[in-house]
Amino acid sequence: MLVPPRAVVRRDGGLYALERTLRRRGFARVAGADEAGRGACAGPLVVAAAVLPATARGEVPGLADSKLLTPAARDRVYDEVIKRAEAYSVVIVPAAEVDARGLHRSNVDAMRRALEQLTVRPDYMLTDGFGVAGLGLPGLAVWKGDRVAACIAAASVLAKVTRDRIMTTLHDTYPCYDFAQHKGYVTAAHAEALAVHGPCPEHRMSYANVAAAAVVPRSRAEALVPVAVSHNGHVEDEV
């Protein structure tokens, strides 16, 4: 059996070079998958998958790793990916599921689900950081894939924008944590809010900083005790 020569991808080939190389090897549809929220201690883990067309339509204006884009640029690229992608999907994993199943398992399982939910079956899959088994597809786990492969970058934008919008909505329900600002990641302001208010249902209790904040200090416990004013004007503990 003849074995085709090994494919070589130039480092300076740009964001689309890896997919072009795979297509020359006979893999017409290349899917990319990536996540957002892995490092956050509150809010969901969001995973997306995308297949970009092999034509010029698949070249998304402004596409890059979502972390390198401004919020406004991410929104523009998100709209372009939605408009141009041959197929895409988004999977949302609630904080409680991350706690119950573990972060890594939740991440890999969600990547599998996102790839399975694509409306077209890819010929090859590229995933950011971690390999995904069980799909019957050839694939490659790419270190910092959102800076190397266009389909992974597209997935990263879908996941990031979706998650940011969820966290902004959660801010309306839990304004004391300021989720709209830090999106559930660990910051000084978020740590201070956790210390004052303790965790809410959207926090990941399996994370050490959240678990520590769940231990109610005496000062916070006393502040939470309901009080009543007696007939003589003195404030008394309610019993």
pLDDT at 160 over 50: yes
The pLDDT value given to residue 236: 38
Mean pLDDT of the region 170-194: 97
Phi and psi dihedrals of 124, rounded to 5? -155, 150
pLDDT at 4 over 60: no
How does pLDDT run across 97-122, given as a tens digit for each residue?
999 999 999 999 999 999 999 999 99
pTM: predicted TM-score of the whole model, two decimal places: 0.86
* Diameter over CA atoms, the chain: 97
How does pLDDT run across 212-221, given as a tens digit for each residue?
999 865 445 4
Determine the Cα–Cα distance for residues 7 and 27; give it in Å rounded to an integer. Answer: 12
pLDDT at 185 over 80: yes
Amino acid at 192: E
Determine the Cα–Cα distance for residues 224 and 218; give it in Å rounded to an integer. Answer: 10
Q: How many CA atoms lie within 13 A of 53 on its CB side?
A: 13
At 5, is the pLDDT very low, low, confident or very high (cuts 50, 70, 90)?
very low
Write down the CATH number for the domain with range 17-164.
Answer: 3.30.420.10
The pLDDT value given to residue 215: 84
**First-last CA distance in the chain:** 84
pLDDT at 198 over 80: yes
Determine the Cα–Cα distance for residues 196 and 194; give it in Å rounded to an integer. Answer: 5
Phi and psi dihedrals of 35, rounded to 5? -125, 165
Count other Cβ atoms within 10 Å, centred on residue 56: 7
Q: Residue 152: exposed, middle, or buried by beta-carbon count in 10 A (0-12, 13-18, 19+)?
A: buried
Average pLDDT, the chain: 88
At 53, is the pLDDT very low, low, confident or very high (cuts 50, 70, 90)?
very high
Determine the Cα–Cα distance for residues 19 and 9; give it in Å rounded to an integer. Answer: 10
Q: Where are the domains of the chain?
A: 17-164
The pLDDT value given to residue 230: 39
Determine the Cα–Cα distance for residues 220 and 22; give it in Å rounded to an integer. Answer: 58
